[in-house]
Amino acid sequence: VILLNYDRPYNVHRLIKELKQQEKVDLDIWLWDSQPSREKEKLEEFDCRVIRDTINPGIFARWELTRMATSSYPLMWDDDIHLKGNLVVYDILQAKKKEKPEVIVGWRGVKMMTEGQSYTDCFHTRSELSEKDQRVHIVKGQIFMIDREFLEK
C-alpha cells in the first residue's frame, strides 16, 4: 500500500491501524510523508516504512513509490480516506484480479463525453454513487490499484 500524506499526520495514524487490521492480505505499507509545515524536530513517527518530503511533488510521489514497490498489485491510498471493514483491501484485490492488466481499479474517475472536452466539463463519478462498475477515461486519486505488469509498460 502506497499511503500518501499531505500534512495530516492525525489521519495517517488511524489509517495505518485500519490497514494493519485488514484480513486475507499481507500488506507492506509505505508512507510518502509530506509535511511542509513541520520542522524536522517535530515530525511524526509512523509504524511503517516512511519516505519524507517537505516539498510535496504532487502526483509524482505516487508513481515513484509505486514503481519501487515489489507487489504485483500496488494500491495507492490517500490519507483522507478511511476503511470501513476489515476486507476492503481484499475486495479491491479480488476485483483487480478479474480485470485485464491495463485496467486500473479505483474509486473515482472522469468520463469525457466528447472528443477534446475540458477536464472540468467532463462527467466526474464516484463509485459510492453508482450501483455498478463504470469505465472511465481518467482514474482520479484517493484509492486505486494497478497491475505491476501494466505499470512497467
Question: In angstroms, what CA-CA distances link 7 with 19, 49, 138, 140?
Answer: 19, 17, 26, 20
| Rounded Cα gap, residues 34 and 133, in angstroms | 32
Consecutive 10-residue averages of pLDDT for the chain (153 residues): 86 92 95 72 74 74 81 91 93 93 86 87 77 79 86 71
Closest CA to 46 of 29, 21, 58, 27: 29
Residue 97 Cα distances to 33, 73, 100, angstroms: 29, 9, 8
Q: Quote the pLDDT of residue 61.
A: 73
Phi, psi of 22, deg, nearest 5: -65, 140
| Sign of the four-CA dihedral 30, 63, 6, 4 | negative
